[in-house]
Amino acid sequence: MIDWERVAELQSEIGAEGFAEVFELFMDEVESVVSCLGQRREKLEDDLHFLKGSAWNLGFRRFGALCHDGERQSAAGQPDDVDVAAVLECYSQSKALFIARVAEFCDVAVSGSDAA
Q: What is the pLDDT of residues 58-94, one digit of tens each?
A: 999 999 999 999 999 999 999 999 999 999 999 999 9
Domain tally, the chain? 1
Evaluate whether residue 9 is within a structural domain.
yes
Evaluate whether residue 109 is within a structural domain.
no
| Domain coverage including residue 82 | 4-104
> C-alpha angle 35/20/45, rounded to 5°?
30
Evaluate whether residue 115 is within a structural domain.
no
Evaluate whether residue 31 is within a structural domain.
yes
- Give pLDDT, residue 107: 59
Predicted confidence band at 104 (pLDDT cuts at 50, 70, 90)? confident
Residue 72 and residue 74: Cα distance in Å, rounded? 5
Evaluate whether residue 116 is within a structural domain.
no
Can you tell me the mean pLDDT for 42-63? Answer: 96
- Give pLDDT, residue 17: 86
Who's near 107: CB < 8 A, 6+ residues apart?
Answer: 16, 17, 20
Evaluate whether residue 35 is within a structural domain.
yes
Evaluate whether residue 114 is within a structural domain.
no
Which amino acid type is present at position 47? D
Residue 29 and residue 21: Cα distance in Å, rounded? 12
